[in-house]
Amino acid sequence: MAAALTSQVALVRKCNRLLYSVRSRFHTSNGLSTKEHYKFVVLGGGTGGITMGARMKRKVGAEHVAIVEPSEMHYYQPMWTLVGAGAKTVSASARSTASVMPSGVKWVKSTVMKIDPKNNTVFTEYGKEISYDYLIVALGLQLQYEKIKGLPEGFEHPKIGSNYTVKTVEKTWKALQNFKEGNAVFSFPNTPVKCAGAPQKIMYLSDSFMRKTGKRSKANIIYNTSLPVLFGVKKYADSLWEIVKKRDLNVNLRHNLIEVRADKQEAVFENLDKPGETKVFEYEMLHVTPPMGPPPVLKGSSLEDEGGWLDVNKDTLQHKKYTNVFGIGDCTNLPTSKTAAAVAGQSSVLDRTITKVMKNEKPDKKYDGYTSCPLVTSYKTVILAEFDYSGQPLETFPVDQSKESRIMYHMKADIMPHLYWHGLLKGLWGGPGPYRKIMHLGMK
Ligand SMILES: Cc1cc2nc3c(=O)[nH]c(=O)nc-3n(C[C@H](O)[C@H](O)[C@H](O)COP(=O)(O)OP(=O)(O)OC[C@H]3O[C@@H](n4cnc5c(N)ncnc54)[C@H](O)[C@@H]3O)c2cc1C
């Protein structure tokens, strides 16, 4: 009898241990929700989330910071432009999320399902409830391939790729290598995008690759963009138009990709100036830049603006309605180009804003909209576009950065990745502002 009781107790203990381990691994089980509280909760562990997690750790201590991020892997996305052109490998762009997570900070490996800013609480996939004193939203943006008829299933076919996801970036390189003759078509969607230069960088690299491999005379290179301009800042657009003419690249403005018939190698574009008018382009290679939109979880949270983006003050990055909520990066409605370089500039301002808000003082540092886009124009040249909210160049180096430069290519390919992993993600790189001043002898 006693022996039976002992074994029953042991069994119950074993079950409890199992339940505990399942709960702690999956945060909850059997619908029983767990609750946690942190001074800072960061939503998203991409560029902005890891950066701000590292900065908040320094401010309040690791045990008071949690980052909610479901992905096992973290990617340096700017490298994918070079991966699609065979100049870097996917693995060089990847690190495990565990390795970039600031040590001691709680990694909640889950997806945020609901944000309730009125009650300072977020809810994750497994029913976990996390409350906070301060919330930093760094959820990035959502890629919307499905808005183009025939995608994403069209990626199962060859000759089509997209540098915008880890799954499709190597398909770009494959399509480029296998190119024989015909049209090479590159698209730019009719929505805000991250890194507005990336859709055309891969065109310049493809042109260079075809020249190197003797295929260029058999290729008709076409850049179909929804925009009315080649690039948003005139100084750089002027240089790019010169390159486009010199290299015989065909640019069609106001052309929006609406359908891909991958089995027939056809891409259908709508003329945005003549709605309803479409044109079919046969292709031997197609690079798709997908439509993009705000993270769906913001919808109905009362944190979003009318377009669905996180509604923040453009100077301070503080939410317009909830003073203990802040935003950084692609998910925000900051009226600047969405880049990792912009995240760097935003991170130092946001750090300062939060310090002030925590002391009940008025934020005093203003984000000027700094953003940067290394426009890769070949395997050895880059035009380094840097500009602010007003679209005015804000260049770091005391040279004309609208000229193609070999040094800037090395910056892009070799130096910036180091700056990303060892500077930005550690919360130590807040953009080139201080260096710009030195380079220009305090004049900028
Ligand atoms: C092809 C390409 C080329 C680029 N080139 C450049 C360049 O040359 N220079 C440059 O500066 N920038 C470049 N960028 C842009 C740059 O990578 C992004 O702007 C930057 O990573 C944005 O950081 P973020 O934190 O806002 O978003 P991300 O880094 O995308 O992070 C968002 C995170 O949120 C997580 N998330 C989303 N939803 C949820 C949820 N519900 N719950 C929890 N987590 C969630 C995601 O898993 C992701 O990890 C490029 C991007 C691409 C794709």
| pLDDT tens readout for residues 132-175 | 999 999 999 999 999 999 999 999 999 999 999 999 999 999 99
Q: Please indicate whether residue 427 or residue 23 has the higher confidence score (pLDDT).
A: 427
Of 245, 276, 291, at which residue does a domain stop? Answer: 291
Is residue 163 domain-shared with residue 237, that is, in the same domain?
yes
Of 270, 291, 312, at which residue does a domain stop? Answer: 291
Is residue 113 domain-shared with residue 160, that is, in the same domain?
no
Is residue 150 domain-shared with residue 281, that is, in the same domain?
yes
417: Cβ below 6 Å to ligand 1? no
Is residue 156 domain-shared with residue 261, that is, in the same domain?
yes
290: Cβ below 6 Å to ligand 1? no
Ligand 1 centroid to Cα of residue 428, in Å, is: 19
Measured at the alpha carbon of residue 162, what is the angle toward residues 233 and 208, in degrees to the nearest 5? 65
Token duo for residue 35: 């609750």
pLDDT above 80 (res 440): no
Give domain status of residue 128, yes or no: yes
Is residue 188 domain-shared with residue 312, that is, in the same domain?
no
pLDDT above 50 (res 1): no
Q: Which ligand 1 atom sits nearest the alpha carbon of residue 51?
A: 25
**pTM for the structure as a whole:** 0.93
Q: What is the pLDDT of residue 434?
A: 86
Is residue 319 domain-shared with residue 248, that is, in the same domain?
no
Is residue 243 domain-shared with residue 310, that is, in the same domain?
no
Q: Which domain covers residue 173, as residue numbers?
A: 145-291
Is residue 191 domain-shared with residue 117, that is, in the same domain?
no
Give domain status of residue 414, yes or no: no
Query: Which of 55, 195, 411 for mutating ligand 1's site (highest number of atoms within 8 Å of CB)?
Result: 195
Q: What is the pLDDT of residue 90?
A: 98
431: Cβ below 6 Å to ligand 1? no
Q: What is the pLDDT of residue 443?
A: 66
Closest residue CA from atom 8 of ligand 1: 78
Give domain status of residue 203, yes or no: yes
Q: What is the pLDDT of residue 24?
A: 38
Q: Could you tell me which of 240, 229, 199 has the C-alpha nearest to residue 402?
A: 240
Mean predicted confidence (pLDDT) in 254-278: 97
For this structure, is 15 an active site residue? no
268 touches 261 (CB < 8 A): yes
For this structure, is 373 an active site residue? yes
329: Cβ below 6 Å to ligand 1? yes
Closest residue CA from atom 17 of ligand 1: 77
Ligand 1 centroid to Cα of residue 345, in Å, is: 15
User: How many domains is the chain built from?
Assistant: 2
Picking from 3-7, 110-114, 353-357, 431-435, which range would have the lowest pLDDT averaged per residue?
3-7
Residue at token pair 């963009």: 225
168: Cβ below 6 Å to ligand 1? no
Give domain status of residue 434, yes or no: no
428-435 — which CB contacts under 8 Å span 24+ positions? Answer: 428/54, 429/344, 430/344, 430/345, 430/347, 430/348, 430/349, 430/351, 431/341, 431/344, 431/345, 431/347, 431/348, 431/370, 432/386, 432/396, 433/345, 433/348, 433/370, 435/396
233 touches 385 (CB < 8 A): yes
pLDDT above 50 (res 30): no
Is residue 130 domain-shared with residue 157, that is, in the same domain?
no
47: Cβ below 6 Å to ligand 1? yes
Of 373, 396, 425, at which residue does a domain stop? Answer: 373
80: Cβ below 6 Å to ligand 1? yes
Give domain status of residue 176, yes or no: yes
Closest residue CA from atom 23 of ligand 1: 47
Give domain status of residue 406, yes or no: no
Q: Which of 137, 285, 310, 373 is catalytic?
A: 373
Q: What is the pLDDT of residue 33?
A: 55
Mean predicted confidence (pLDDT) in 223-237: 98
pLDDT above 70 (res 386): yes
What percent of the chain is modeled with pLDDT above 90? 89
Is residue 61 domain-shared with residue 137, that is, in the same domain?
yes
Q: What is the pLDDT of residue 444?
A: 64
pLDDT band at 362 (very low <50, low <70, confident <90, very high): very high
List helix spans (H) across 27-145.
Answer: 47-60, 80-84, 97-100
Arithmetic mean of pLDDT over the chain = 93
The CATH code of the domain that includes 194 is: 3.50.50.60
With H, G, I as helix, E, B as strand and everything else as coil, classify residue 106: strand
110 touches 128 (CB < 8 A): yes
Tell me the CA distances in angstroms from 113 to 20, 66, 329, one per residue in order. Answer: 23, 16, 20
Q: What is the pLDDT of residue 394?
A: 96
Is residue 211 domain-shared with residue 343, that is, in the same domain?
no
Give domain status of residue 442, yes or no: no
